[in-house]
Amino acid sequence: MKRPEAGARSPENLIKAHGYALGFDLVGIAPLGAMDTAAAFDSWIESGYAGEMEYLPRGAAKRADSRLPLAGAISAIVVGLSYGGREPAGPIARYARGDDYHEVMAVKLERLHRQIEVEVGHPINGKAYIDTGPILERDLARRAGLGWFGKNTNLINPHIGSFFFIGVLLVDLELEADAPFEADRCGSCTRCLDACPTDAFVEPRVLDATKCISYLTIEAKGAVPTEQREKIGDLIYGCDICQDVCPWNVRFSQELREPAFRQREVLHGDARAVATRILAMDDEAFRREFKGSAMKRAKRRGLARNAATVLGNIGTGDDEDALVHALDDPQPLVAEHATWALQQIAAHTVHR
């Protein structure tokens, strides 16, 4: 994956130039066809590591052959959009602090699609995917030269680390592909595996999602398993730990440039402040504060459950009023975790 040279007018270089002009940090081109990790993905699901994410097994045939999601598709234009990495760690994973990346990237990819049509002089059949269908985006990104699979399962780029979103635009254009990224630059490093608070990695590059804090705070709909609650610490939504410790991010992660990904006001403050704020929200306040946010995925009940769990881990007597109020929450799930949190604070107080 190379940035186009000045004066180069090939279709591939023009596409990349437009992609960079739209704000993408990475742009590469990959051929479509049989996908390298489709069998491993199916095996991963069969092992139960996907947990409640029942949508993942769908579209297995399309996932195995990237030509199938769009009739006549030949090439994939694969892009990466950084969401920072230099901002301080906090209770909300960096990717979710601003506007929903699906929407932000969809707009940019639609613009790229239209600009390609202008360049070639005729309509192009194309379709964008941003975690929105049976596409193995990581496979296509590696095939397009954008990076390698880290031991924490994230795609890592040697120039910007792993704090970036992957988007794919399938097109019925025959384009010259970039050289795939063949190297594995993790070496003997295991910092990401060693740092995981819940021991979610079965082995390098194999994640048991049911133990992952991101899964527990976002995808899981029921109660957080009791044995995992304290391990969540002060994390309310998602987790960046395995990325934070990666040497490639320590050295090469970017300053946040995309305005849409700047942290919302409601998420300012430490974990206790954010958790208390979330627990006080009713459904209307939740919809207002998180309109256009990826955090809507957890719904109010999920966020309030997480907030109560965090206060049980790091809260003090000053947080008891917020938790007592949550005992009357219309969602029993929230009341259950508020009860647990109050018990935890009481136990911590006794042992001080």
Is the domain of 162 the same as that of 284? no
Number of domains in the chain: 2
Q: Which of 147, 171, 195 is the last residue of a domain?
A: 171
CA dist 340 and 155 (Å) reads 37
* Percent of all residues in the chain with a pLDDT value above 70, rounded to a whole number: 97
288 domain-assigned: yes
Half-sphere exposure of residue 242: CA atoms within 13 angstroms, side-chain side? 26
Model confidence pLDDT, tens digit, residues 313-322: 999 999 999 9
208 domain-assigned: no
* Percent of all residues in the chain with a pLDDT value above 90, rounded to a whole number: 96
- What is the average pLDDT value for the chain, to the nearest integer? 96
DSSP β-bridge partners for residue 33: none
Q: Which of 104, 136, 171 is the last residue of a domain?
A: 171
Whether the per-residue pLDDT at 9 is higher than 90: the answer is: no
CA dist 290 and 55 (Å) reads 24
Whether the per-residue pLDDT at 121 is higher than 70: the answer is: yes
Number of helices and strands (H, E) in the chain? 15, 8
Contact 237, 217 (CB under 8 A): yes
Whether the per-residue pLDDT at 55 is higher than 60: the answer is: yes
Q: Residues 242-266: what's their mean pLDDT?
A: 98
Half-sphere exposure of residue 167: CA atoms within 13 angstroms, side-chain side? 25
* Alpha helices per DSSP H over 58-132: 60-64, 101-120
Tokens 């910092």 belong to residue: 191
Is the domain of 25 the same as that of 166? yes
Q: Which of 137, 171, 205 is the last residue of a domain?
A: 171
Model confidence pLDDT, tens digit, residues 108-120: 999 999 999 999 9
CATH number at residue 279: 1.25.10
Residue 125: both structure tokens together: 């059949």
The range of the structural domain enclosing residue 154 comes to: 11-171
Of 36, 42, 131, 172, catalytic: 131
Question: If pLDDT is split at 50, 70 and 90, which confidence band does 30 have?
Answer: very high
131 as an active site residue: the answer is: yes
Question: If pLDDT is split at 50, 70 and 90, which confidence band does 286 have?
Answer: very high
Q: What are phi and psi of 290, to 5 degrees?
A: -115, 20
